[in-house]
C-alpha cells in the first residue's frame, strides 16, 4: 500500500469515528443537531465513505502499463480534505447564524474543492479502466517502440 492510499484510508477511519462520536452527542444533547446535522452527514458520506472508496480504488484498481498516479492521488487527497475541512468548520457557524457574515463564498469554495477532487479522481480512474484489447494494443505499442 502506497503513502496516499494509506492516508486516504486512515483519514476515512478518523471521519468514521468522528461521525460516530457526533451522532452519540446528538442523543445526549439534541440541541446540537440543528447546525451540525448537515456537517455530520457530509463527514460520513464524503469524509468516510467517499474517501474510503477513493483510497481503495487508487490502491486496488489495475495500473495498465505500470501507470503511476502519485501526483493525482495527492492532489485528490488535498482537494477533498481541504474542501471537507472548510465545510465542517464553517457550515455550523453559517447555519446557526453565530459566525461572521459572508461565509457563503467560503462554503462555495469548499464545494468547488470537493468537486475538483471528484473530477481529478474520475479522470485518474478513467485512465485505469481499460479492456483486454486496449491492454494488448498498449503492449504492442510498447514493444514496437523497443520498450
Sequence-distant (6+) residues with CB within 8 A of 39 are 87, 88, 91, 92
Mean of pLDDT values over 98-127: 93
Spatial distance between the Cα atoms of 18 and 35, rounded to a whole number of angstroms: 16
* Confidence at 78, pLDDT banded by 50, 70, 90: very high
* Confidence at 147, pLDDT banded by 50, 70, 90: low
Number of domain units in the chain: 1
Residue span of the structural domain in which 133 resides: 3-144
Cell of 118: 471528484
State yes or no: pLDDT of 79 exceeds 70: yes
Q: Based on the number of CB atoms within 10 Å of its own CB, is 46 exposed (0-12), middle (13-18) or buried (19 or more)? A: buried
State yes or no: pLDDT of 7 exceeds 70: yes
Amino acid at each position: 500500500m502506497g503513502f496516499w492510499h494509506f492516508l486516504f484510508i486512515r483519514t476515512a477511519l478518523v471521519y468514521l469515528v468522528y461521525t460516530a462520536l457526533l451522532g452519540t452527542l446528538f442523543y445526549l444533547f439534541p440541541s446540537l443537531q440543528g447546525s451540525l446535522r448537515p456537517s455530520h452527514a457530509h463527514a460520513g458520506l464524503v469524509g468516510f465513505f467517499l474517501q474510503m472508496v477513493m483510497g481503495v480504488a487508487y490502491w486496488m484498481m489495475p495500473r495498465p502499463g505500470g501507470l503511476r498516479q502519485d501526483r493525482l492521488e495527492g492532489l485528490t487527497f488535498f482537494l477533498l480534505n481541504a474542501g471537507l475541512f472548510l465545510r465542517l468548520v464553517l457550515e455550523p457557524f453559517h447555519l446557526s447564524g453565530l459566525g461572521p457574515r459572508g461565509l457563503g463564498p467560503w462554503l462555495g469554495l469548499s464545494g468547488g474543492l470537493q468537486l475538483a477532487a471528484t473530477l481529478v479522481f474520475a479522470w485518474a480512474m478513467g485512465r485505469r479502466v481499460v479492456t483486454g484489447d486496449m491492454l494488448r494494443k498498449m503492449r504492442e505499442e510498447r514493444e514496437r517502440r523497443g520498450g
